Amino acid sequence: MRLTLSILKADVGSIGGHTKPSAKMIDATKEAVKEAIGKGMLIDAYVSHTGDDIAILSSHTRGPNNTDVHQFAWDTFLKATALASKDGLYGAGQDLLVDAPSGNLRGAGPAVAELEFDHNVVKTNRVRPAESFMMFAADKCGPGAYNLPLFLGFADPMYCAGLMLPKLIKGFTFNIIDMDNTQGDSIISLNAPEDYYRISMLLRDNERFGIDSIVSRTDGEPAVSVSAMRLHNIAGTYTGKDDPVALVRNQGIFPAPEELLSPFTKAHYVGGDARGSHVMPLMPVPINTAVSGIYCLPLVSCTGFSVDATGHFSGNVCDFFDNPAWDLVRTKAQEKALAMRDQGWSGAAMLPYHELEYSGFRDTVEGLMKQFAIRDGHTKAAVPAASGR
Ligand code: 13P
Ligand code: MG
Ligand code: MG
């Protein structure tokens, strides 16, 4: 069968500030998902949250961008929003940016990551005798948060020794989106290993360029889908882009979990966190973790799934970062966070002007820009008379 995996994710309200959704919201989401499975729209699904974002992961046979599946997720997020509003939670309905999505959640606020592939898990299947994958979800960070770790996992044998094996040695195609191009989804396709430096040149800019998808060059099999999205102009303001999710298939013709996870030991600095406008390290955490760390410390979770012949998920999941092995990295992330916070708003601690997510910061600067005046070098006045307060 042609199987589709979809992650549809939104922040529709949270308790005590932007921390985590309420248990009622999660329960309602799980209930809605159960109904959708009962009706046969979805084969299976898994509901979790990372920080204040609820992620609905599902398997089905309807293909990516399916109107019914997207509409179902939208309606479910609306139900969770109603519960958040009733209980007076913070940011109720925050990511539902349009009145009604036109059959597709892309550009309507929620994050979308989807993969479709042939699913025939039998021992004799040379390409994919078993299907295992990981779901990444990150909160309080920008869309390019996965650029470095996914690049290292899929293109650098220092992290993924598997790339030196015959099954993977042809490398992977990186499809990269220019998120600042608001005309449409502007994508470039570059091949690792030969375009290694060119890919790095783009992916270094986490705020503008993001990995959209990765494809195996050996079998043409899709490996990765990331929710990195272009900016959308909704009601005159540019919105979107943050708290990305990713689907990553692993093992066999793809990197193994340890090869994909080892780059996360860096706790690399990413844009986002407090008011979406700072630079802080990305800390790996178990699923269903609230945001309560140092200055909105960005979080990433990773959950592993296996899929049986009928498209159902394994009865329980592997919560990769819920392990003492990651405690050291969590300590490192917090040390890196404290080091960055030592310099408050100065330089590298905050994002550059155009990336400040709260446009209010830019409004403040723009107000001040009107008060600058050119100093006349011939007079003695240190401050030009025209400069105001
Ligand atoms: P979210 O995008 O997770 O709601 O975070 C918003 C924010 O501004 C954090 O300070
Ligand atoms: Mg929020
Ligand atoms: Mg969030």
171-200 pLDDT per residue, tens: 999 999 999 998 999 999 999 999 999 999
Q: Looking at ligand 1, which residue's alpha carbon is closest to its atom 3? A: 140
Q: Which of 20, 140, 241, 336 is catalytic?
A: 241
Burial class (CB in 10 A: 0-12, 13-18, 19+), 279: buried
Pocket test for ligand 1, best of 81, 242, 350 (most atoms within 8 A of CB): 242
Q: How confident is residue 388, by pLDDT bands cut at 50, 70 and 90?
A: low
330-382 pLDDT, tens digit per residue, is: 999 999 999 999 999 999 999 998 888 777 888 999 999 999 999 887 777 77
- Measured from the CB, is residue 11 less than 6 Å from ligand 1? yes
**Which ligand lies nearest to the CA atom of residue 90 in the structure?**
2
pLDDT of residue 303: 98
Q: What is the mean pLDDT of residues 292-299?
A: 94
In one-letter notation, the amino acid at residue 245 is V
Q: Model confidence over 30-79: pLDDT tens digits?
A: 999 999 999 999 999 999 999 999 999 999 999 999 999 999 999 999 99
Question: Left (φ > 0), alpha (ψ -120 to 50) or beta: where does 282 sit?
Answer: beta
User: Residue 171 contacts by C-beta under 8 Å, 6 or more apart in sequence?
Assistant: 155, 163, 191, 192, 193, 194, 217
Average pLDDT, the chain: 95
* CB 95 less than 6 A from any atom of ligand 1: no
Average pLDDT for 86-111: 94
Under a CB-based contact definition with an 8 Å cutoff, are residues 178 and 186 in contact? yes
CA of 145 to the centre of ligand 1 (A): 15
Find out whether the beta carbon of 52 lies less than 6 Å from any atom of ligand 1: yes
Q: Which backbone phi and psi does 368 adopt, to 5 degrees?
A: -70, -35
- Domains of the chain (ranges; CATH) run 1-118 (3.30.70), 130-340 (no CATH)
353 is catalytic: no
Q: Positive or negative CA dihedral for 95, 98, 100, 104?
A: negative
| pLDDT tier for residue 222 given thresholds of 50, 70 and 90 | very high
